[in-house]
Amino acid sequence: MKVVGFVGSPRKNGNTDVLVQQVLDGAVEAGADVEKFYINEMNIKGCQGCTYCREVDGCKLKDDMSQVYDALKNADGFVFGSPIYFFQFTSQMRQVIDRCWALVNPDFTSRIEAGKKAIIVSAQGNPEPDAFKGVFEEFTQVLQMFGMDVKGTFVDVGHHAPGEAKENAELMEQAKTAGIELFK
């Protein structure tokens, strides 16, 4: 089993990173090999709308997105993490999502093998748990279009300082358990 975490936060050791790591730690405990990408540190350009990927299985741009494509095609499970910045995932995560268009066939079927597992994690300063529910529902639909089984969404609410999510012991345990049970 291979599980890949994608951190869409620009803050290493921030609340989103902490949650992604909790899930990955659980996956390791269950016997998985894990890898984590910090999207902010990667050279990923925006989609050019050139339609190259409609003709060819791939993207014309040659940047670090090729590592993301390889991970999405070859891993068994994923942890997608992004904080909410101004009512949406970060621009770093949105960039990756937009570039995943190259993984969609012209007939809107997926170029990724179905049946992979996914967990979504996030952090938001807003203390209302459902304030950005639509963001998570929309992203779940994207993952389901790729044939992924979304096993859960875990959101830290009301914290602002990096690492404060660790204070939410219940959420930390839920995230770790989700990693342990990802393939059950």
pLDDT for the residue 148: 98
Nearest to 98 by CA among 37, 35, 142: 142
- Within 13 Å of residue 60, how many CA atoms lie on the same side as its CB? 10
How many structural domains comprise the chain? 1
Output the CA–CA distances (angstroms, integers) from residue 2 to 24, 25, 74, 130, 136, in the order listed. 10, 13, 8, 31, 24
pLDDT for the residue 20: 98
94 in Cβ contact with 85 (< 8 Å)? no
Predicted TM-score (pTM) of the model is: 0.97
Range of the domain at 122: 2-180
Please report which residue ranges of 11-159 form alpha helices under DSSP H. 15-29, 52-55, 65-74, 91-99, 133-145
Q: Which strand ranges, in their side-by-side order, compose the sheet holding 33-38? A: 33-38, 2-7, 77-81, 117-124, 149-157
10-residue mean pLDDT profile of the chain (184 residues): values are 97 96 98 98 97 94 98 98 97 97 96 98 96 98 98 95 93 97 94
pLDDT for the residue 142: 97
To the nearest 10 degrees (0 to 180), the angle between helices 169-180 and 15-29 is: 40
pLDDT for the residue 64: 98
Q: What is the CATH number of the domain that holds 97?
A: 3.40.50.360
pLDDT for the residue 27: 98
